[in-house]
Amino acid sequence: MVQHMTGGPGALKPSGHSPAPGPLAERSAQPPAVEVTGLVKIFGPVRAVDGIDLRVAPGEVVAFLGPNGAGKSTTLDIILGFSSPDAGAARVFGLTPAQAARGLRTGAILQEGGLLPDYTVGQTIRAVAAMRGARHDISSVQELSGISPILGRRVAKCSGGERQRLRLALALLGNPDLMVLDEPTAGMGVTARRSFWAAIRERAAGNKAVLFATHYLQEAADFADRIVIIHHGRIIASGSVDDVRALGEGTIVTATWPGMSGVAALDEALAEVRASLQDVAVRGEHVELRTTAPDDVARILLTRTPAHHLGITALSLDDVFADLVEDSVPAGGPAGGASAPPAR
């Protein structure tokens, strides 16, 4: 059973990038960048979004994480005003999503942004800047997005990562207070991804909010103040990376066991702590266990078996994510469709 979590101001990463400082009264007077309550979106038989509550503060970077079809893009589309919910409401800085978009409060990178292949990068930026009335931003967004060296390149000739940088430049035009990014670094290499996030973090430091969907757990852990995990259209966990990691049960114990003959030998040696074992794997002489009693397992391995080179590590975020997703129940499922927990 998943232990549901709610985030909160105290749940932000301690070392992280909390909302920009300012007089408390001033900050609390600001409406949230995003406030979504009881959001539902239904496509025929599919409840793509099934009762989501979500709040993003100005200056906060929130990662929206979930498996394929979880409802991430549908939620972001509603926040951007591209579609309307069947129930519930979304507000952006206290406005309707359409009002916020018209007032250039929001900027977006979508999964399938239409770019014109025959335009150069520079022409594309100038055209969109003219449409948005943001010509004065052109040089700063070119610099921020790192696109300056390829302004003369035709979009058709740009790599996947370069197109994402162009989309970032377009999203930055008009200096929006909220950036909504749907898998913004898809197709980027590690270095491009890092500089992309450096640019985004610079924005957040200026009290701009960022809500991004990603499949990369590590990206969420590295760059977000808060992670919101969604599955079957519901929020199943929300908190700092440490909060989410703490939802995982168990610890990984690894060891080298010379002459290891197979799982049966390990099982016999650990009979007394068998109830604590969640997973056991043997690859040659390498032994890996997931257990709720790592100290006992380590003691037995070191004192009663030939095992050495012991390692004890926390669960990876991938392990925790897989557990959470596996445990969550779809609407009308066996648990009778438990309601989604509030996220902040």
Ligand X SMILES: Nc1ncnc2c1ncn2[C@@H]1O[C@H](COP(=O)(O)OP(=O)(O)OP(=O)(O)O)[C@@H](O)[C@H]1O
Binding site for ligand X (CB under 6 A): 43, 46, 48, 66, 68-74
Question: Min. distance of Cβ 324 from ligand X in angstroms?
Answer: 15
CB 211 to ligand X: min, Å: 13
Distance, in Å, from the CA atom of 121 to the CA atom of 147, rounded to the nearest integer, reads: 8
C-beta of 46: minimal distance to ligand X in Å?
5
- Of residues 50 and 319, the one with the C-beta less far from ligand X: 50
CB 172 within 8 A of CB 144: yes
Which residue, 158 or 228, has its beta carbon nearer to ligand X?
228
Comparison of 28 and 68: residue with beta carbon closer to ligand X? 68
Q: How far is the CB of 77 from ligand X (least distance, A)?
A: 8
Is 13 or 232 the residue whose CB approaches ligand X more closely? 232
User: Smallest gap, in angstroms, from Cβ of residue 128 to ligand X?
Assistant: 24
Q: Three-state SS string across the chain, please? A: CCCCCCCCHHHCCCCCCCCCCCCHHHHHHCCCCEEEEEEEEEECCEEEEEEEEEEECCCCEEEEECCCCCCHHHHHHHHCCCCCCCEEEEEECCECHHHHHHCCCEEEECCCCCCCCCCEHHHHHHHHHHHHCCHHHHHHHHHHCCCHHHCCCEHHHCCHHHHHHHHHHHHHCCCCCEEEEECCCCCCCHHHHHHHHHHHHHHHHCCCEEEEEECCHHHHHHHCCEEEEEECCEEEEEECHHHHHHCCCCEEEEEECCCCCCHHHHHHHCHHHHHHEEEEEEECCEEEEEECCHHHHHHHHHHHCCCEEEEEEECCHHHHHHHHHHHCCCCCCCCCCCCCCCCC
Q: How near is the Cβ of 99 to ligand X at its closest, in Å?
A: 23
Nearer Cβ to ligand X (73/164):
73
CB atoms within 10 A of CB 22: 13
Kindly tell me which of 76 and 270 has the beta carbon lying closer to ligand X: 76
Q: Rounded distance, CA 144 to CA 134, Å?
A: 15
Distance, in Å, from the CA atom of 29 to the CA atom of 266, rounded to the nearest integer, reads 60
For the CB of residue 87, give the shortest distance to ligand X in the complex, in Å: 15
Least distance in Å: CB of 70 to ligand X? Answer: 4
Question: Does the CA dihedral 91-182-134-33 come out positive or negative?
Answer: positive
CB of 321 to ligand X, least distance (A): 13
Closer to ligand X at the Cβ: 221 or 228? 228
Q: Could you give phi then psi for residue 142, rounded to 5 degrees?
A: -65, -40
Return the number of the residue (43 or 268) whose C-beta is nearest ligand X. 43
Identify which of residues 19 and 66 has a Cβ nearer to ligand X in the complex: 66
